[in-house]
Amino acid sequence: MKPLREVIARVGRDVAQEVVVNVFAAAALASLAFVGLGGRMEDVYLRLGGVESPSSVVSVLAIDEEALYLWDPANPAPATTPRALLAVLVAFLQSAGAKVVVLDVLTDTPAPGDDALLAAVVAHGRVVAAERFTVGDAVPFAPASVLGHTVVPAYANLGQEETTLFSGELRVRAVPPVMSVARSRLSGAWPGNLVGGFADDEAPIPALSLAAAYLHAADKTGAQLASELAAVCGGVPLSCTGNAAALGLPASTRLLHESLPIYFRGAEGADGIATVPAARVLRLMGESALARSLGMELPVSVPTDLAGVIAGRVVLVGRTDAAAEDRFVTPFSFPAFQDADMAGVRVHAQVVDRLLAGRHLHRVDGPVAWASAAVLGALVLATARRAGASHLVGWLGALGLIGAGGAFAFRAFPGVVIDTGPAMATVAVAMIVVHLYARGAAE
Distance between CA 80 and CA 436 in Å, rounded? 62
419 close to 409: Cβ distance less than 8 angstroms: no
Please count the other Cβ atoms lying within 10 Å of the Cβ belonging to residue 148: 13
| 199 and 144 Cβ atoms separated by less than 8 Å | yes
Can the peptide bond before residue 277 be classed as cis, meaning omega within 30 degrees of 0?
A: no
pLDDT of 191: 46
Q: Rounded CA gap, 95 and 93, in Å?
A: 5
The pLDDT value recorded for residue 289 is 66
Q: Which residue type does 61 have?
A: L
User: Between 21 and 420, where is the model more confident?
Assistant: 420
Side chain identity, residue 259: S
pLDDT at residue 116, as a whole number: 93
CA angle 358, 131, 107 (to 5 degrees): 130
3-class secondary structure per residue, 68-136: HHHHCCCCCCCCCCCHHHHHHHHHHHHHHCCCEEEEEEECCCCCCCHHHHHHHHHHHCCEEEEECCECC
A 10 A CB-CB count for 23 gives 15
Cα–Cα distance for residue pair 71/82, rounded to 1 Å: 9
Q: What does the alpha-carbon distance between residue 274 and residue 57 come to, in Å, rounded to a whole number? A: 10
Helix (H) or strand (E) holding 345: helix 344-357
Phi then psi for residue 183, to 5 deg, are -115, 135
Cα–Cα distance, 248 to 268 (Å, whole number): 29
What is the pLDDT of the chain when averaged over all its residues?
Answer: 82
Q: Is the dihedral of CA 342, 343, 344, 347 positive or negative?
A: negative
Q: Does an H or E element contain 233, and which?
A: strand 233-234
Question: Which pLDDT score, from 0 to 100, does residue 193 have?
Answer: 46
∠412-416-422 over CA atoms, to 5°? 115
Find the mean pLDDT for residues 161-175. 70
Per-residue confidence (pLDDT) for residue 165, from 0 to 100 = 57
Q: Which of 138-142, 260-264, 358-362 has the lowest mean pLDDT?
A: 138-142
Phi, psi of 313 (to 5 degrees): -110, 170
When pLDDT is cut at 50, 70 and 90, the band that residue 298 belongs to is low
Given this model, what pLDDT does residue 406 score? 87
| 129-155 average pLDDT score | 78
Q: What is the pTM of this model?
A: 0.85
- Coil, helix or strand at residue 296: coil
Q: Say if residue 136's pLDDT is above 50.
A: yes
Helices (H), 172-300: 208-217, 222-232, 278-293
Three-class secondary structure of residue 189 per DSSP: coil
pLDDT confidence of residue 293: 62
Distance CA 230, CA 135 (A): 22
Contact (Cβ atoms closer than 8 angstroms) between residue 85 and residue 63: yes
* Integer-rounded Cα radius of gyration of the chain: 27
The per-residue pLDDT for range 248-259, each reduced to its tens digit, is 999 888 999 998
SS3 420: coil
Asked if 175 and 158 touch (Cβ cutoff 8 Å), the reply is yes
Neighbours of 222 (CB within 10 A): 21
Q: For 55-106, write each residue's pLDDT tens digit.
A: 999 999 999 999 999 999 999 989 889 999 999 999 999 999 999 999 999 8
Q: Angle at the Cα of 90 (from 87 to 96), degrees rounded to 5? A: 145
The β-bridge relationship of strands 152-155 and 195-206 is unpaired
